Structure 1
Amino acid sequence: MRLVYFAWVRERIGTGEEQVAPPADVATVAQLIDWLAANSAGHAAAFAERDRLRAAVDGVFVGLDASVVGVDEVAIFPPVTGG
């Protein structure tokens, strides 16, 4: 699974993307975030304020309860505002 990070999420993790193979019990975006945060201080810092995170699975905006089973890409980013 390819993970893509944007804005301050990318800055805190220290990379814009990575390939991961989460365990079989990681079935949702929220569980993926929990698993990543438990394995890296950078991920833990980036995901500390979960209510400030948004996600897209295979290019479609989703809630954190969305499934990641069998997906190719998950993007995690802060809310975006325009002007």
Structure 2
Amino acid sequence: MNVLYFAWVRERIGLPREQVETKAKTVADLVVELSAREERYALAFADISALRVALDQVLSDFDAPLDGVKEVAFFPPMTGG
């Protein structure tokens, strides 16, 4: 699956995107897998309440299933203006 990182998430991880092989069933499971990789991932996902996630470009929740998902994007909350 393609995983995209935006804004400060990308800055902490050091990548805009990557291809990930995962056995995660939910977004939360994926976050646990990614956080266990390296310290930079752990820092980026330390407080998921400060993050939003989109699955195949649709805003989702961290308990959403990943079955059939091709793209996961992590980003900070957006504000209007």
Same fold (TM over 0.5): yes
Counterpart residue identity of residue 33, structure 1: V
CA drift at 1:82: 2.0
Cα deviation 1:19-69 (Å, max 9, x = unaligned): 00012xx11011100100011211101000111110000111001001112
Residue 30 of structure 2 corresponds to residue 37 of structure 1 = no
Partner Cα separation in structure 2 for residue 9 and residue 68 of structure 1: 20
TM-score (norm 1): 0.93
Identical aligned pairs, as a percentage?
A: 52
Unaligned 5+ runs, structure 1: none
Partner residue, 2:66:
68
Following TM superposition, the consecutive aligned residue runs of length 4 or more in structure 1 with deviations greater than 6 angstroms are: none
Unaligned 5+ runs, structure 2: none
SS at match of 2:73: strand
TM-score (norm 2): 0.95
CA drift at 1:72: 0.6
